[in-house]
Amino acid sequence: MSAAWRAGCAALLAAAAFGCVSGADDAGGGADGRKILRVAYEREIDVLNPFTSQNLADIQFSMAEGLVTTDEHNRYVPVLARVIPTERNGLIVRNADGSVDMTWPLHENVRWHDGAPFTSADVCFTWRFIVSTGSQTYNRDQYLGIRGCSAPDPHTVVFHWDGMYAYYDGLFEAILPEHVLGGMSTEEIVNDTPFNRGPAFVGTGPFRFAEWKAGEYIRVVRNDDYWRGSAYPAIDEIVWAFVPDANTRLNAMRAHQYHFARILPTQVAELEGVGGYDIHLISSNTFLHFDLNVNTERGRRLFGSRDVRAALFHAIDRRAIADLLMQGTVRVAETPIHPGNPYHYDAVPTFDFDPELARQMLDAAGWTVGPDGVRVRDGRRFAFTLLNRAGAADRIAVAQVIQAQLKDVGVEVRFETLESAAFTQRWRSGRWEAEVNAWFLPADPSLTGLYACDGPNNMTGFCDLALDAVMKASDRTAAFEDRKPLLDRVQAMLAAEAWSLPIYYNVVPEVVSRRIGGYRGSGTNFGSFWNLWEWTLDTPEGARTPDVRRALDATEVPDASGTGATPGAPR
């Protein structure tokens, strides 16, 4: 080899020796001992403004705070508000004309990242923005019940509602700065790049915006004037790296390149034996379900009868799906409302796996098995098409299991797989026969949007006016004692109707480095970073802080050697 060649090799090796193996876990901090938390995030967000963003995300909430947030028990906790108004504490007052006045007292020593004081004027400004036309806020209609906002003093804000709504305490998850955006029209705010993407974005949160390198990462740095005290936050910087490919994320965690990442349930077993992490199976408020649709003529013919639907559901072995296919990482679902939610109702009619019963019920309904193994009635075969979204691997896997299990009882299922946007368009048109899909439910357990006759997300064509009435009544009830029996009835009626079969509650496995302290994993849309302000990061030089708490429904999955994951079936 020539001298130049050898020199080149030597140089490369030297660079490798110096530069490599600087995995986040080994060199947790920057060169000067700064505590830098590295997160492998599964998608790049669109804008920083939490209200116009089409994907609510943890990144925005590390910088922007609102009146409330939710903890790992799905309970609302006040953030910028000092207390959450209730009738009991007198902050909610019902007026004679049916309207409701709601007073939110605010913390007093809060400053925006640019030093300006946070006041009630900011809250009213935020409301005005949300309800204005064109604000693009995804749950804008929930704010429409607020008819007026007044700020009697800089630290008190009063909302004038036209009635009582159950979800009032889940609104205003962020506040916008009036002193920055106040002079702009709604359209201007929505399109304002310096605020949406960059240096002009300010919040009141523990971290403030530092840098956004498109396609790569967002960097936030410590807010030295954070209102909770100079001790917080304990972390100097967070790098939210964008690693959308699930497999790359997994490999990055294996190589200890990040402190935190979310992976897929079927990847949990892959991290067995990898030291330095705990895996938390966070119950997300997402549940997978098998839906039938009666909008089409064939759909009506096949699925019009409740007994036939029930028969199909009895043919599906959900326990095998949860325990075997998903390797025990998920829990079978009987109702859309998650067990971690206080409104969850257990005593609904269930569809246990019983293929013999399914066959009997189908026989009784006049569907007899034909020569090719598929049931026939009036000369027509029991065959339908299941619509899949390309790329949704978990749902397609479940769909294949359902296909096989229904074949076993004489029902033929064909697949039609459409690319993502094409699928969405077809789904919204209602022209499909069956699907395996997932809903993400916010903390508020209202199901009206999904199952009401005129529910904006009810594409199945099913309609039950009695059920509608109960659902809408529950939406107008705020007090838990009054709402619970109503929602119990809703869940029981839904199950009895057998329109849609809940399959399992999804989990989002979060891989958390053992150097992190204060993590309290949560499956709400505020996510597991809801309490970032109190997180700590142990860098190799410092002492360990063993303060690791877990979410109620999260399962820590230790194995014998005390590291990594062994999937267990949470119950």
Q: Which is nearer to other proteins, 56 or 362 (CB)?
A: 56
Which residue, 567, 570, 571, is CA-closest to 327? 567
Rg, Å, the chain Cα set: 26
Q: Which is nearer to other proteins, 400 or 477 (CB)?
A: 400
Nearest approach in angstroms of CB 320 to other proteins is 5
Distances (CA, A) of 468 to 453, 462, 463: 7, 11, 8
Nearest approach in angstroms of CB 149 to other proteins is 21
Which residue, 204, 209, 229, is CA-closest to 219? 209
Nearest approach in angstroms of CB 283 to other proteins is 15
Q: Which is nearer to other proteins, 306 or 428 (CB)?
A: 428
Show the tokens assigned to 30: 């920057």
Nearest approach in angstroms of CB 245 to other proteins is 5
Nearest approach in angstroms of CB 332 to other proteins is 14
Measured in degrees and rounded to the nearest 5, phi and psi for residue 406 equal -75, -35
Q: Are 48 and 209 in contact (CB under 8 A)?
A: yes
Distances (CA, A) of 135 to 59, 183, 190: 20, 15, 7
Nearest approach in angstroms of CB 108 to other proteins is 34
* Residue 378: Cβ-neighbour burial (10 angstroms; 0-12, 13-18, 19+): exposed
Q: Are 420 and 391 in contact (CB under 8 A)?
A: yes
Tokens 């998650």: give the residue: 338
Nearest approach in angstroms of CB 447 to other proteins is 10
Q: Which residues of 185-204 are buried (b: 16+ CB within 10 A; e: fewer)?
A: ebeebbebeebbbeebbbbb
Nearest approach in angstroms of CB 305 to other proteins is 27
Nearest approach in angstroms of CB 118 to other proteins is 26
Q: Which is nearer to other proteins, 89 or 193 (CB)?
A: 193
Q: Which is nearer to other proteins, 13 or 93 (CB)?
A: 13
First vs last C-alpha separation in the chain: 64
* Secondary element (H or E) of residue 376: strand 375-377
Side-chain half-sphere CA neighbours of 562 within 13 A? 2
Q: How far is CA 71 from the centre of its chain?
A: 13
Q: How far is CA 322 from the centre of its chain?
A: 20
C-alpha span between 427 and 51 (Å, rounded): 26
Measured in degrees and rounded to the nearest 5, phi and psi for residue 157 equal -130, 140
Pairing mode of beta strands 36-41, 237-242: parallel
Nearest approach in angstroms of CB 537 to other proteins is 13
Q: Which is nearer to other proteins, 302 or 398 (CB)?
A: 398
Q: Are 474 and 226 in contact (CB under 8 A)?
A: no
Angle formed by the axes of helices 465-475 and 480-497, to 10°?
Answer: 160
Nearest approach in angstroms of CB 309 to other proteins is 23
- CB neighbourhood size of 230 (10 A): 7
Distances (CA, A) of 264 to 80, 104, 246: 34, 40, 7
Q: Which is nearer to other proteins, 153 or 416 (CB)?
A: 416
Nearest approach in angstroms of CB 413 to other proteins is 10
Edge-to-edge, what's the strand order for the sheet holding 156-161? 92-94, 100-105, 156-161, 146-153
C-alpha span between 44 and 244 (Å, rounded): 8
